[in-house]
Amino acid sequence: MMISKNMEAALNEQISLEGYASFLYLSMAVWCDNKGLSGCYQFLIRQSDEERLHMMKIFEYLADVDGLALTPGIQEPPRQFKSVQEIFKTVYAHEQKVTKCINNLIELASKENDYSTQTFLQWYVNEQREEEALMRNVLDRINLIGDGPQSLYFIDKELESINIQAATAEAEAE
């Protein structure tokens, strides 16, 4: 099976978006580490690794369908952030954007009667649903903790435990 040039280009854009997410979360992780927020750091490092995996899956898929995956030039992510609350709001917004892009890719694949790519993208539909739910959970927790004097400490503890749960759930799914 050979993929259309249109679909190939759209998947290459997705490669670039996943790659950017990986670098963005890495940059956020480093910021957190620098502030002593080791739970947030661990959480964001895992998210960053996942995004790289999402990118690599498209590389492999394009190779399977005789397409050409292009190693993206990644735009430099921000290095300074206002607060940990702002970081997680940004992550959630980014995940929502990725979900929209996945939906657009499916629409294109369906217009082209490209059943293989539609099937391939189903994995991303599920992944995005999980990621959005995870990030909403994080934001709910952050809101519950509020911004009292010890809030950063508690947010960090919370992220540490959410990270352990997420990593365990993933390991079980494999």
Q: Kindly list the residues in this chain that would bind ligand OFO in the complex (CB under 6 A).
A: 18, 21, 51, 54, 95, 98, 127-128, 131
**CB of residue 36 to ligand OFO, shortest distance in Å:** 26
Residue of 130, 86, 147, 167 lying closest to 155 (CA atoms):
147
Q: Decide whether 115 or 123 has the Cβ nearer to ligand OFO.
A: 123
DSSP-derived letter for residue 15 is H
What tokens does 159 get?
A: 């992220």
Q: By C-beta, is 1 or 167 nearer to ligand OFO?
A: 167
Our CB check for ligand OFO shows the closer of 127 and 156 to be 127
**Least Å distance between CB 103 and ligand OFO?**
13
Nearest Cα residue to 81 out of 49, 33, 22, 38 = 33
In the complex, minimum distance from the CB of residue 2 to ligand OFO, in angstroms, rounded to a whole number: 26
Under a CB-based contact definition with an 8 Å cutoff, are residues 62 and 68 in contact? Answer: yes
